[in-house]
Amino acid sequence: MEPVSLLGSDEIGRILRRMAVEIAERTRGGPSLAIVGVRRGGVPVARRLAALLREAERWEVPVGSLDIALYRDDAATALPDPKIGPSEIRFDVSGRDVVICDDVLQSGRTVRAAIDALMDYGRPRRIWLAVLIDRGGRELPIAADFVGRVLDVPLDARLDARLDEPGESDALWQVSRRAPRTSEPYLGPPPREEPAS
């Protein structure tokens, strides 16, 4: 399948500006606010939101990044040779309102891992979630507080976002179709057989 462009640079810019306004209104900002991006896709979202808050509200919001590779619940099976990058949080998260950012929210597993990773740095007062795209397909009961756009795409489609690449325009594509999952739904344990009397 050829890549299909879903969002262009102008539209992504408008979405991020709206999200920054929502974050300012709902969190009330101030010195307790921090923004942390999930490596890779969430880091440029976090940086852009912090820059927009600095422009519009004059808030200097610290920005960090989390590598969640070792916190994933499927790390042993999905990541046989994980590429682990550094997490960079150079501020105390304890008592802060922390906005975790990611580019695409789907199953919720990345967010769960990000929360676990963040808690290793302290105990935030509150954790918020901001995502550029919510594409559905939740496997865990996780919902974003700030959503740029909800897109209805097939569950087996992959979305790729590009933000903050030097010399490139921001973009979001539906790139390809992944092989669908073949696992059967869990229907509970098999019925117990009563011993013969």
pLDDT band at residue 182 using 50, 70 and 90 as cut-offs: very low
The whole-angstrom separation of Cα 54 and Cα 60 is 6
Cβ(72)–Cβ(8) below 8 Å: no
Q: Are strands 33-38 and 63-66 parallel, antiparallel or unpaired?
A: parallel
Q: What is the DSSP letter of 71?
A: G
Which pLDDT score, from 0 to 100, does residue 125 have? 96
Give the pLDDT confidence score for residue 191 in this predicted structure.
54
pLDDT at 46 over 90: yes
Q: What is the pTM of this model?
A: 0.82
What is the SS3 assignment for 88? strand
User: What confidence category does residue 187 fall into, taking pLDDT thresholds of 50, 70 and 90?
Assistant: very low
Residue 1 has pLDDT above 70, yes or no: no
For the chain, what is the mean pLDDT?
Answer: 84
- Please answer whether residues 104 and 91 qualify as being in contact, where contact means their C-beta atoms are separated by less than 8 angstroms: no
Q: Single out the residue of 22, 33, 104 nearest to residue 63, CA to CA.
A: 33
pLDDT attached to residue 120: 94
Q: Does domain 9-75+83-155 have CATH number 3.40.50.150?
A: no
Q: Which percentage of the chain shows pLDDT scores above 70? A: 82
Residue 180's pLDDT is what? Answer: 44
Cα separation, 23 vs 149, whole angstroms: 15
Q: Minimum mean pLDDT among 19-23, 122-126, 184-188: which range?
A: 184-188
Average the pLDDT over each of 49-53, 67-71, 143-147 and give the range with the smallest value. 67-71
Burial of residue 49, with CB atoms counted within 10 A of its CB: 0-12 exposed, 13-18 middle, 19 or more buried: buried
Q: Which residue has the higher pLDDT, 143 or 80?
A: 143
- Show the tokens assigned to 168: 């490139």
pLDDT greater than 80 at residue 87: yes
E strands of the chain, at which residues?
4-7, 33-38, 63-66, 97-105, 126-134, 146-150, 157-162, 171-177
CB 87 within 8 A of CB 117: yes
Domain ranges, ordered by start, for the chain: 9-75+83-155
Q: Which of 17-26, 36-45, 138-147, 173-182 has the lowest mean pLDDT?
A: 173-182
Measure the CA–CA gap between 24 and 27, rounded to whole angstroms.
Answer: 6
Q: What is the mean pLDDT of residues 155-172?
A: 81
Residue 189 has pLDDT above 90, yes or no: no
